[in-house]
Amino acid sequence: MKPYNTVTNALVWFVLLGLFFFLGMMTHHLLFRKQERELSKMAARVEKLEKLEPDLGDSMRELQSEMGKLWYAKKSHNTPLTLYELKEIKETVETVGILNPVIDRVNASGVLQGMINSQIAGMEDALKRHDDKAFDQQYAETLATCNECHRASGVGFNRITYPSAPPVGNQDWNPSTSK
């Protein structure tokens, strides 16, 4: 082989390798940029969703209304509505626990999970057994848990009681007409 050819071959290989390397780098760069763009899009979306999260006060006011509705549904012997309100309370309590695992050093998710497993489950169970006394006892214990947590979190001035009037004036509690 002539020395000229060897040099040319080496040069061709060098250029080819350089080209490969360059193309590789460019592809990597483009993919990386794409990933970066997707990540920042996702971060913007998370930020937007975070703004939509109910704050603790919103969820608490919801719980207060649901507890009032639960009471009126039960006192009106409206079992489907009572079960529905219990499900709503459970969902609200779960949301509060997920969004606020710790409130002012109180293990909120523990307290709330306990409420679901004992008092709320107890009310569901009492309802199925038609045990009004047990239902009322579990309702009273739920109220006590609400107020205990308020005291522990430094907001004991929010004392929740039995409703003295229906929480809304535009709902029919009667089971035979509200079907």
Site for ligand HEC, rule CB under 6 A: 56-57, 60-61, 63-64, 67, 103, 106, 108, 111-112, 115, 142, 145-146, 149-150, 153, 155, 158, 160
The residue among 81 and 85 lying less far from ligand HEC, judged by its C-beta, is 85
Give the other-Cβ count within 10 Å of 174's Cβ: 11
**Residue 173 near residue 76, CB atoms below 8 Å:** yes
The residue among 160 and 175 lying less far from ligand HEC, judged by its C-beta, is 160
- Please state the closest distance from residue 75 (CB atom) to ligand HEC, in A: 17
**Residue 85 near residue 70, CB atoms below 8 Å:** yes
The residue among 134 and 155 lying less far from ligand HEC, judged by its C-beta, is 155
- Please state the closest distance from residue 85 (CB atom) to ligand HEC, in A: 11
The residue among 65 and 76 lying less far from ligand HEC, judged by its C-beta, is 65
- Please state the closest distance from residue 97 (CB atom) to ligand HEC, in A: 8
What one-character-per-residue DSSP string does 88-111 give? HHHHHHHHHHHH-S-BTTB-HHHH
Q: How far is it, in rounded angstroms, from Cα 139 to Cα 149?
A: 16
> What is residue 26's DSSP assignment?
H
